[in-house]
């Protein structure tokens, strides 16, 4: 089976959608009183539903609707960033778990099937196995033999994934990679994974971040984010202060632990989860084009010593002096800092995190870019950001994807430590998740474009709906930490408290 050129596939899907939609319009014109298809914004009235013609019982409408759904979903996966498609599979389904159920219940199994299938393929290293077979693919019997699984059950998992455009079923029971599934491949030889699954995230290749990210989200039966999401209903019913402590979240309820997530992962019993999480954090750079970080677009330049300046405009890294110091606070293994260091070699970057994370970071970069370390463009330092900041008077303190992990009290503590170390010229750049309302708001135009005056075209949702749904999934599905902040007003509030 040969793949078609992408441009041809785009045109074919466009034509299918156009013809099917025109067919639905013709039917609506003949059968609906208004002459148009019912608006998605209009609720269904029980009385009207009894008296009106029911379109989805019409065989022709069913046929056309199936074409629209199939073509639209394939088009989504064709044009969307493949990583986003994988994350959609990993946490989109699980975000339905808004009530506690038993892991073996039919309700749980129905709702988690797609996510569970992805987790199964990831943990059984199917992506690494299929790499060896190329575009012709491998029979599920061969795949199952290599990963010591039941061939029939594995085939069903891979088929539902292929139905959602993750992997390809090139002929009955023969599966191969496609653009989306190929991102799961860590490039680690399958034999090494057979020896020790920990090699998946301890070999320090530059290709295991996506697998790690999905594994962190996906593990239905393991002690990760998925279990915590099952406690969501119980958590929502709990009134009072929103997560007064990082030790009082659904994560603790689900795992029956008093530790916060990071302390829990540092337990030697959870070394696999800890190694995977370190690789997972590197994948967060995939959420934005590298230009977004390099240009500083949509970052918050919100503290200059005692002066507040809050905006969503670009930050000019070249405005910093020769040899300027940028401290990446809680920077993990340093992937964002490394990208900045390559783009701005005149600057020095100091990445701070916990000692165990720093050690893994050094091993990772000694394999992937040792010159960056030896030249001193990026250095790593163990530091607890709740304690006094050791780098005083840095040109920039960068807090990227840090604050959403902590409650207000702890975020204010971090800000106070940075404010105390800042000089009159220091900038604090915050890069974190923003959750705009699904209705029109001051952030709507910034989601669609850098211009504050251009909104998404109607009838699209102001927040672009499904196109930006993954961040909302993370807000709900993780269920282990304080909800992501949604407005500029929130940062203003925190800045005011940190100055007291």
Return the active site residues: 404
Beta-sheet strand order (sheet of 300-303) = 300-303, 427-431, 396-400, 325-329, 348-353, 378-382
Which DSSP string corresponds to 445-460? HHHH-S-TT-PPPTTS
CA atoms of 253 and 241, how far apart (whole Å): 17
Residue closest to 260 by CA, chosen among 275, 271, 244, 239: 244
CA atoms of 248 and 258, how far apart (whole Å): 8
CA atoms of 12 and 344, how far apart (whole Å): 43
CA atoms of 391 and 107, how far apart (whole Å): 52
How do beta strands 396-400 and 378-382 pair? unpaired
The DSSP secondary-structure symbol of 398 reads: E
CA atoms of 31 and 55, how far apart (whole Å): 9
Q: Are 95 and 473 in contact (CB under 8 A)?
A: yes
Q: Where are the alpha helices (DSSP H) in 316-354?
A: 335-343
Residue closest to 61 by CA, chosen among 94, 24, 35, 30: 24
CA atoms of 382 and 385, how far apart (whole Å): 10
Sign of CA dihedral 210, 214, 217, 222: negative
354, 406, 476 from 481: Cα distances, Å: 19, 7, 10
- Angle 360-183-371 (CA atoms, 0-180°, nearest 5)? 40
φ, ψ of residue 52 in degrees (nearest 5)? -90, 160
Q: Where are the alpha helices (DSSP H) in 350-487?
A: 355-368, 370-374, 408-421, 444-448, 469-477
How do beta strands 138-139 and 168-171 pair? unpaired
Q: Are 98 and 232 in contact (CB under 8 A)?
A: yes
């Amino acid at each position: 089976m040969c793949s078609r050129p992408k441009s041809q596939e785009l045109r074919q899907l466009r034509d299918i959608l156009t013809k099917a939609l025109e067919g639905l319009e013709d039917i609506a014109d003949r059968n609906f009183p208004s002459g148009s298809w019912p608006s998605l914004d209009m609720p269904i009235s029980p009385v009207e539903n009894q008296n009106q013609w029911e379109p989805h019982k019409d065989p022709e409408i069913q046929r056309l609707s199936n074409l629209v759904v199939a073509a639209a979903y394939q088009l989504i996966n064709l044009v969307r960033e493949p990583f986003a498609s994988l994350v959609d599979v990993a946490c989109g389904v699980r975000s339905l778990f808004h009530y506690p159920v038993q892991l073996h219940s039919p309700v749980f199994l129905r709702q988690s099937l797609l996510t569970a299938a992805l987790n199964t393929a990831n943990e059984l290293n199917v992506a690494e196995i299929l790499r060896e077979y190329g575009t012709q693919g491998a029979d599920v019997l061969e795949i199952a033999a290599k990963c010591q699984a039941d061939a029939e059950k594995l085939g069903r998992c891979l088929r539902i994934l292929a139905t959602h455009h993750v992997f390809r079923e090139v002929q009955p029971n023969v599966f191969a990679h496609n653009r989306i599934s190929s991102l799961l491949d860590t490039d680690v030889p399958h034999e090494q994974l057979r020896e020790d699954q920990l090699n998946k995230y301890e070999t320090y290749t530059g290709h295991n971040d996506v697998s790690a990210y999905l594994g962190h989200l996906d593990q239905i039966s393991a002690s990760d984010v998925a279990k915590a999401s099952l406690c969501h209903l119980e958590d929502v019913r709990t009134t009072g202060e929103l997560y007064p402590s990082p030790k009082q979240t659904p994560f603790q309820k689900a795992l029956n632990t008093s530790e916060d997530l990071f302390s829990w992962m540092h337990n030697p019993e959870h070394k696999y989860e800890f190694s995977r999480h370190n690789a997972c954090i590197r994948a967060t750079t995939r959420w934005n084009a590298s230009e977004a970080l390099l240009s500083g677009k949509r970052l918050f330049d919100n503290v200059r010593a005692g002066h507040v300046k809050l905006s969503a405009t670009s930050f000019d890294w070249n405005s910093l002096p020769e040899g300027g110091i940028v401290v990446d606070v809680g920077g993990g293994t340093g992937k964002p800092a490394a990208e900045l260091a390559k783009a701005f070699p005149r600057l020095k970057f100091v990445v701070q995190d916990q000692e165990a994370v720093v050690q893994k970071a050094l091993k990772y970069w000694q394999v992937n870019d040792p010159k960056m370390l030896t030249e001193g463009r990026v250095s790593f330092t163990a530091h607890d950001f709740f304690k006094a900041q050791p780098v005083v008077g840095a040109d920039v303190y960068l807090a990227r994807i840090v604050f959403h992990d902590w409650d207000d009290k702890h975020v204010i503590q971090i800000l106070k430590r940075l404010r105390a170390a800042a000089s009159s010229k220091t900038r604090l750049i915050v890069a974190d998740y923003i959750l705009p309302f699904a209705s029109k708001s001051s952030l709507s135009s910034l989601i669609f474009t850098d211009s504050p005056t251009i909104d998404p075209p109607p009838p699209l949702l102001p927040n672009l709906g499904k196109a930006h749904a993954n961040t909302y999934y993370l807000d709900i599905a993780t269920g282990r930490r304080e909800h992501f902040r949604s407005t500029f007003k929130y940062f203003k509030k925190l800045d005011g408290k940190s100055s007291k």
